[in-house]
Amino acid sequence: MTGAPADMENPLHRLTDEQIDEIGKEFQAIHDEVYEDLGERDAVYIRSIIQFHRRLAALSRVVLMASRYKPAWVLGTAGLSTAKIIENMEIGHNVMHGQWDWMNDPYIHSSTWDWDTASPASAWKHSHNYVHHTFTNVVGKDHDVGYEIMRVDPSQKWYPHYLLQPFYNVLLMAFFEWGVAVHDLDFEAIRTGKKPKSQVKDELKEIGRKARRQIVKDYIAFPALSGPKGWKATLAANFTANIVRNVWSNAIIFCGHFPDQAYTFTEEEGADDRPGAWYVRQLIGAANIDGGPFFHFMSGNLSFQVEHHLYPDLPSSRYQEIAPRVKDICERYGLPYNTGPFRRQWGSVQRTLVRLAFPGGKPRKKAPPYEAPAPAVEGNGGAPDGNGRATTERVLASFP
């Protein structure tokens, strides 16, 4: 399936064995230090976000009972969309990664959490936490490279059905949660018999059960509460909220690995199991999105996709703090630190999806080694860094 030769420009091939070892140790040291430091303030953070989500969701549902009045519809739909986004991204994805397992709270735990989306927790944990995060961007092993239906990297073999990719891409955006649910079944594993039939059966049953509950909730129970005059408006509101959440999460997730800057890897490259090599693959296989605190929050801090991939088990709220230390490693070892504004990252993903619908295609130019911005000149309040991202303090200070 891979066929394509390794990209010799890939920094993996430039680093010496000693450097790879040192990089592994340095990244691990950051992990251990932050993990050791987790405590009260982190626990307070996730609990308040969970509480905020539940209040917002409950409030939006109540407002939507009056959805046949336009302002209530708009307000309720906006609230519910926001609640669903927070629940899926900053809470669900991260809790199910085990980022909060250290608290040993049985109700904020990867083993018990379920989220407000079509995909059942256990299948998702396998395909995302395990397959995608272990074999990140290894073409042929990471099924998130194009989700088995899209060609997002020129080294993927072209088939005629990819011609339709720009069209079903739009469908996937709108119905992303269902795409993910089906994708998690892992057709590759079913085809090759790696997944026992009993498990496939359980998972299908689980998807059915989950889908039924989700549909009953959003399209029957809550509309019913709005009464005979309001049910249609509430149904439309819930449908809209689900679509908004789907489009947004699809956009953020696609920006995580498919922008031009991110590297993909051959199976040989992916087989290098030295910790340092794994860290470098995570680093250069992911891409961040610049933005302010609100943007990072609404993207579940997946705008720090690089940090998330280096440390999938550290709480998302710590990624922003870790970022400067990651950049520092990048600078010292001449490694790229992929990031860019949302418009650029998303635009390059969409262009790739259109271009690679057709045969051929060449890898795009990758980001150069990271360089720290010139130190701030005294008096100007600190310049934004080389990638256009102002420091956290500056962003926070800019809030009213």
**Chain contacts with another protein (rule: CB under 8 A):** 38-44, 51, 54-55, 58, 61, 98, 101-107, 111-112, 114-116, 122, 125-126, 129-130, 194, 196, 198-199, 202, 210, 213-214, 216-217, 221-222, 225
Tell me how long the chain is. Answer: 400
Is the separation of the CB atoms in 26 and 18 below 8 Å? no
Token digits of residue 222: 């809550």
**In sequence order, what DSSP letters do the residues of 301-359 get, joined into one string?**
TGGGHHHHHH-TTS-GGGHHHHHHHHHHHHHHHT------BHHHHHHHHHHHHHHTTSS
Q: Quick one: 123 or 326, whose CB is closer to another protein?
A: 123
Q: Quick one: 42 or 144, whose CB is closer to another protein?
A: 42
Q: Quick one: 83 or 251, whose CB is closer to another protein?
A: 83
- Token look-up 């256009």 returns 388
Q: Quick one: 202 or 371, whose CB is closer to another protein?
A: 202
Is the separation of the CB atoms in 340 and 385 below 8 Å? no
Question: Cβ of residue 245: shortest distance to another protein, in angstroms?
Answer: 14
Q: Quick one: 13 or 201, whose CB is closer to another protein?
A: 201
Q: Quick one: 53 or 308, whose CB is closer to another protein?
A: 53
Nearest partner of 123 among 203, 205, 213, 187, judged by Cα: 203
Contacts for 76 with CB less than 8 Å, ≥ 6 apart: 60, 61, 63, 64, 66, 67, 237
Question: Cβ of residue 23: shortest distance to another protein, in angstroms?
Answer: 21
* Rounded-to-integer distance, Cα 320 and Cα 299, Å: 13
Residue 264 CB burial class (10 angstroms; 0-12, 13-18, ≥19): buried
* Rounded-to-integer distance, Cα 370 and Cα 334, Å: 7
DSSP 292: -
Q: Quick one: 125 or 296, whose CB is closer to another protein?
A: 125
Q: Quick one: 110 or 392, whose CB is closer to another protein?
A: 110
Q: How many CB atoms lie within 10 A of CB 303?
A: 27
**In sequence order, what DSSP letters do the residues of 107-157 get, joined into one string?**
TSSTTT---SSSS-HHHHIIIIIIIIHHSTTBTTT-TTSGGGT---STTSP
Q: Quick one: 124 or 162, whose CB is closer to another protein?
A: 124
Token digits of residue 312: 């999938």
Contacts for 343 with CB less than 8 Å, ≥ 6 apart: none
Q: What is the largest CA-CA distance in the chain?
A: 71
* Rounded-to-integer distance, Cα 376 and Cα 381, Å: 8
Question: Cβ of residue 42: shortest distance to another protein, in angstroms?
Answer: 6
Q: Quick one: 2 or 214, whose CB is closer to another protein?
A: 214
DSSP 259: S
Phi first, then psi, for residue 290 (nearest 5°) are -75, 150
